[in-house]
Structure formats: structure tokens, C-alpha cells
Amino acid sequence: MNAKPSSLLFCPGHRSDRFEKALMACPEGIVLDLEDGVGITDKATARREVFNWLSKRSQQPTVNLAVIGLRINAPQSTEGLEDIYSLAHSEGLPEKGWFFIPKLEDAGELAWVTTHLHRRLPKWGICGLVETGRGIRNLARLAASQPALVAFGFGGADLRADLGLSDNFEAQLYARSRFVLEASGFGLHLMDVPHLAINAPKELQEECIRVKALGFHGKFAIHPNQVQIITNAFAPSTNQIEQAQRVITAYRSVGGNALQIDGQMIDEPVYQQALATLAKLST
């Protein structure tokens, strides 16, 4: 499984006719959504369609390295409890995948829901969706509390509602920066909120560049047309790859001592950054 996707495409759980198309559009992975993408009257249908599709998929041999994710409803809600109950009684689900847990704020709640989900699917990773001010303030505590965590998602839309923020980038700059800072040091993959304007490719590209500069590793998509823009934005450029190769070769040639390349000092942190750049080519 690709553990470091630059893009994951959300797909409404009640639209099983779109699941395979979504995976073709976003080979890095999809998130089958039981939460915000599904109206209350379609929740039961979504559970049935998602679990049926997952069961059929698990029976088919595949070498696809895509992340197959499932976003349940908030665990403290009635629908979230229904999701967890249904998962516990579903048969033939894939051995590996990612659970997406929305509205995370409390480490105890994270431990509770992870325990119940892992009774049925112990090898699934957990992606916590942090969507409130309290969740961001508690993010380091959340990260330290649960070894099954593989990623965090920044939930900008719900955060705007929680804090009364406007929808421009600057209004959420502090929250995004705090999100990355609190999550640092745990080796987790950090995904940014989807860009809600589907027909705004230039805006999406600019936002990808800005959140990448803040330390995010990828961005969720809500439409197939967004996927390639995100993938391209988070991929290292030709110049970045060539520079990383130069740094690695030169640094190793002097036995790990500091040196200069084109007037820039190269030391251990710069070397590690170069290694990280090249590592993205193999994910």
C-alpha cells in the first residue's frame, strides 16, 4: 500500500457506480465517504454499498498499491455508532486500508474508536481528521496516544464554522501552521482540506503550493479534475531532483562534512532534506 499519497479522492458512499471510476482517476487512493458526502436519508444505503464493494474487492487478486479509505461518521454521533456496528458485523473486508475518523478532539475517544474498529480489522491504519480549534490544540496529544495513526487531515471547512473564520487562505494560515507544528515529530502523513471550488484549477494549484511550503504532504480531492493538479504540485520538480542529487553526492564525497555548493552551505539538515526529496520519487 502506498503510505504517502499526495492526493486521495473522496467518493460518496451511496454512489457505488463511481467507486471504480474514482480509483482510476486517483490511482494513489480513494476515500469512501459515509459522512458529509451522504445525506441522512442515504446513510443506510451508503453503508450497504460500501461494504458490498469492499467485500467484492477483497476477493479479487490485485497488485494495486492504492490506499482504500473509509470515512465513518463522527464516533459520538448515532450514525457513527451505526457505522462501527456495521463494520463489526461485515464479512470479507480487505485486510488493509485506512479508517478516516472525523471531528477528532480527544485522545480517549480516539483510543475507544480505534479499539472497536481494530477488533474487526486490526491492520487498518487510522487517519484522524482534525476539524475544530480544540482538536488542533490537542493534536500532539492525539498523535502520541495512538500507534495505529498513519495520518492527519486538516478539516478547514468545519474549522471555519467552529472559529468563525472567513474562507480566504490568510484567515486559516495560523491554524494550518499550528496543525503542522503540533503534528511534527510523529512521522505522520499530513493532508490538507479539499479545495471546494471544483472549477478553479489555478486557485487549487496556488493553494497546493502554499500548503506544501507549510509542510503538508498532500491534499484531498473532491473531483477527478483536481487529482492531477494536486499530484503535480506535490511532486518534486526536475530542478529539485537534480539539486537533491548534487547535494547527496557532494555531501557523501566529503564524508559528511559541511561544504558549499553554488554559495549555499550544505550540512546534515540540508542533506536529510535532499534525501526526503528523492524518497518522494519512490512512493
pLDDT tens digits along 108-126 = 999 999 999 998 899 999 9
Same domain flag for 53 and 76:
yes
pLDDT higher than 70, residue 249 = yes
The SS3 of residue 96 is coil
Q: How many CA atoms lie within 13 A of 123 on its CB side?
A: 8
pLDDT number for residue 62 = 58
Residue 219 CB coordination number (10 Å):
29
The DSSP symbol for 59 reads T
Same domain flag for 134 and 253:
no
Written as one letter, the residue type at 203 is: E
Question: Residue 167: inside a domain, yes or no?
Answer: yes
pLDDT tens digits along 16-68 = 999 999 999 999 999 999 999 999 999 999 999 999 999 888 776 654 568 99
| Angle of the 268-279 helix axis to the 238-253 helix axis, nearest 10 | 130
Same domain flag for 158 and 172:
yes
pLDDT higher than 70, residue 131 = yes
Query: What is the pTM assigned to this prediction?
Result: 0.88
pLDDT higher than 70, residue 127 = yes
Could you tell me the residue range of the domain that residue 187 belongs to?
Answer: 7-234
pLDDT higher than 50, residue 76 = yes
Same domain flag for 69 and 187:
yes
Question: Residue 37: inside a domain, yes or no?
Answer: yes
- The pLDDT confidence band at residue 1, using thresholds 50, 70 and 90, is very low
Question: Residue 21: inside a domain, yes or no?
Answer: yes
Question: Residue 2: inside a domain, yes or no?
Answer: no
Question: Residue 205: inside a domain, yes or no?
Answer: yes
Same domain flag for 27 and 61:
yes
- Which of 124-128, 221-225, 226-230, 238-242 comes out lowest in average pLDDT? 238-242
- The pLDDT confidence band at residue 152, using thresholds 50, 70 and 90, is very high
Count structural domains, the chain.
2
pLDDT higher than 80, residue 77 = yes
Question: Residue 1: inside a domain, yes or no?
Answer: no
Q: What's phi and psi for 154, nearest 5 deg? A: -85, 120
Same domain flag for 207 and 269:
no
Short-list 190, 204, 198, 191, CA closest to 222: 198
- Which of 82-86, 229-233, 266-270 comes out lowest in average pLDDT? 266-270
pLDDT higher than 90, residue 92 = no
The DSSP symbol for 77 reads S
Same domain flag for 106 and 35:
yes
Same domain flag for 206 and 250:
no
Pairwise CA distance, residues 146 & 126, whole Å: 9
Same domain flag for 123 and 151:
yes
Strand 259-261 to 264-266 pairing: antiparallel
pLDDT number for residue 251 = 80
- The pLDDT confidence band at residue 88, using thresholds 50, 70 and 90, is confident
Question: Residue 220: inside a domain, yes or no?
Answer: yes
Q: What mean pLDDT is predicted for residues 93-111?
A: 94
Same domain flag for 167 and 249:
no
Same domain flag for 32 and 117:
yes
| CATH classification of the domain holding 209 | 3.20.20.60
Q: What mean pLDDT is predicted for residues 143-153?
A: 94
Q: What mean pLDDT is predicted for residues 162-187?
A: 93
